[in-house]
Structure 1
Amino acid sequence: MKLYHFPLSGHAHRAYLFLSLLGVDAEIIEVDLANGAHKKPDFLKLNRFGQVPVLEDGDIIVNDSNAILVYLATKFGRKDWLPDDLASVAKIQKWLSVAAGEIAYGPAAARLITVFGADFRSDEVIARAHRILGLINDELEQHAFITGKTPTIADVALYSYIVSAPEGNVDLTRHPQVRQWLARIEALPGFAPFPKTAIGLAS
């Protein structure tokens, strides 16, 4: 099993983190995004979108971070991370959508400005970030993890861009339940940290 990875990508970190939490020994292949390796023909054969992460498992190629989480949990029969009862499936899918939507256009976008020079309006994306973090904070007042008492792939999907939000000038002190949740994830066996960039509020 191979994971095509870029250390500063929160999307790639989701897959890397989950492999680590599962204790799966995969070959990690770092993709040189700075020099356009993700746009070269060989990589585009793996992912036409030219994005990381990509999971290669024999003849199976999975090239979306949330899809990789679902694939890995299913492949290894980890119903603790991806229960199959309908209520849990619906809750997890909702938060995977939040990770791909509000998180991507909030804290992730704010970080893209400071770390990669993306052309977004910082006031807009920071406000968006606080809105979704406020909703997540409210949810976490009810239970330790995002869907209940134990972690699921939904927590993994949300973690990377939330923990790195201060790099995009998003202040997490306004969201105490979120900060406690981050600490609970970081205490899990097999946890692998998201590399920090000394920029924004994290400078």
Structure 2
Amino acid sequence: MGKGDMKLIWGSGSGPCWRAMIALEEKGFGDIEKKFISFSEKGHKGEDVMKKNPRGQVPTFSDGDIIVNESMAICLYLDAAYPNEGTKLIPTDAKDMAQVYQQAIEAHENLQMKIAIKCIYYQWRTKKEERNEETLNENLKAAREELEIWDKRVKQFAYGDKFTLVDAVLFPFVATVVRFGCDISSLPRLQAYYDNLKERQSIKNSWPPHWLEGELKDKILKDL
């Protein structure tokens, strides 16, 4: 166990991968061994991934002979195994701990379903002529309502006055909707949150590299 024994397999643009990489950066492990895989080339189904995660999903993380799959589990493992390193992602106070657990899970479950699956993946995986516009509009409305909930909550950070696991989960979703064309200026607290955290070193160091190549032409969340 330890920094020299860690390895992360990841793909660019994946929210779960970004979450794990933010956590590694926050804990001071940003320079561990990493292997980049290409989703378009089915790298997540390659032997190196399948040996560690038979589901063929990334991120997959190892710390010596300890293998941890699922991004939330990776974040929790890092904070528990290395409590004195870097940022404390989970507060020790019971009340704050409960809220961080709750809000991190809320962000993951609600934003993954309402934005990633029902808005982005639906449009990617459904031919335009086969899309149900009424369903898509309902999905966009539900996603907007979810963003409005977070707009009422966030301040400098998602919970409290320090960076926590909630930020590692929430920020990649916010950055994703911005990249896909959503104008969040009408959500002023969420806009300020995004503007603030995108300058944080852990975020900058882990920013999806292919996003740096330019903006998307197809802004599929412009109506969100």
TM class by smaller structure? 0.7 to 0.9
Give the CA deviation at 1:76. Answer: 2.1
Please, which of 118, 122, 128 is the counterpart of residue 125 of structure 2? 118
Rg comparison, structure with higher value: 2
Amino acid across the alignment from 1:22: K
Question: Which of 11, 14, 22 pairs up with 1:9?
Answer: 14
Identity percentage over the alignment?
A: 24
Query: Is the alpha carbon distance of 1:167 and 1:125 closer, same or farther for their aligned partners in structure 2, counting shifts above 3 Å?
Result: farther
3-state SS of 2:51 partner: helix
Contact 1:21 1:191 in 2 (8 A): no
Kindly report which structure 2 residues correspond to 1:66-77, keeping only aligned pairs within 5 A, or say none. 66-77=72-83
Contact kept in structure 2, 1:111 and 1:169, CA below 8 Å:
no
Amino acid at match of 2:45: K
In 2, distance between residues paired with 1:170 and 1:113?
16
2:95 paired residue number: 87
Confirm or deny that 1:34 pairs with 2:25.
no
Partner residue of 1:137? 151
Corresponding residue for residue 176 of structure 1: 188
Question: In structure 1, how many angstroms separate the alpha carbons of the residues matched to 2:107 and 2:69?
Answer: 16
Q: Aligned to 2:88, what secondary structure does the other structure show?
A: coil
- Gap change, CA 1:20 and 1:42, over 3 Å in 2: closer
Contact 2:19 2:169 in 1 (8 A): yes
Aligned with 1:28: secondary structure? strand
Instruction: Say whether the 8 Å CA contact 2:111–2:173 is kept in structure 1.
Output: yes
How far residue 21 of structure 1 moved from its aligned partner, in angstroms, is: 2.8
TM-score by length of 2: 0.78
Equivalent residue letter for 2:98: A
Partner of 2:203: 191
Unaligned 5+ residue runs, structure 2? 1-5
The alpha-carbon distance between structure 1 residues 125 and 169, as it changes in their structure 2 partners (threshold 3 A), is farther
Q: Does the aligned pair in 2 maintain the 1:99–1:158 contact within 8 Å? A: yes
C-alpha change, 1:6 and 1:151, in structure 2 (3 Å) is same
| More moved, 50-59 vs 103-112 | 103-112
For residue 30 of structure 1, report the CA deviation from its aligned partner: 1.0
Greater CA deviation, 54-63 or 38-47?
38-47
Q: Is the 8 A contact 1:83 1:89 kept in 2?
A: yes
Alpha carbons of structure 1 residues 190 and 41: separation in structure 2 relative to 1, 3 Å: closer
Structure 1 residue ranges without an equivalent (≥5): none
CA RMSD, 1 decimal = 2.4
Residues in 2 aligned to 1:168 and 1:129: alpha-carbon distance in whole angstroms? 13
Instruction: Say if 1:105 and 1:128, in contact at 8 Å, map to a contact too.
Output: no
| Contact kept? 1:105, 1:125, Cα under 8 Å | no
8 Å contact 2:90–2:165 — kept in the other structure? yes
Q: Hey, what's the Cα distance between the residues in 2 that align with 1:42 and 1:188?
A: 32
